[in-house]
Amino acid sequence: MPKVTFMEDLCKGCGLCVEACPKKILELARDQINKKGHNPARITDQEACIGCAFCATMCPDCVITVEK
């Protein structure tokens, strides 16, 4: 099963990964603020991830890692 991890403290909350996810299992954490003052992205259903890595490809700051 693929595993997606985020370096949440470096995420600027741009939302590009959320839009790129074909399974729509990413969201911006509206209840959390990181050290940069942004709402970081997070995965809502790890088991539904297909490991396509579209999210990591779209991330301009390279804060997403997809392990297969």
Q: How does the average pLDDT of the chain come out, rounded?
A: 97
In the prediction, which pLDDT does 20 show?
98
Range of the domain at 13: 3-67
pLDDT, tens only, 18-51: 999 999 999 999 999 999 999 999 999 999 999 9
Can you say whether the dihedral through the CA atoms of 9, 15, 65, 4 is positive or negative?
A: positive
Strands 64-67, 3-6: pairing is antiparallel
Considering the entire predicted model, what is its pTM?
A: 0.92
- Residue 17's closest CA among 38, 36, 40? 40
CA distance 64 to 28: 13
pLDDT of residue 48: 97
Give the rounded percent of residues in the chain with a pLDDT score beyond 90.
Answer: 97
Count: domains in the chain: 1
DSSP-assigned letter for residue 19: H
Q: Which CATH number fits the domain that encloses residue 33?
A: 3.30.70.20
Residue 36 is predicted with a pLDDT of 93
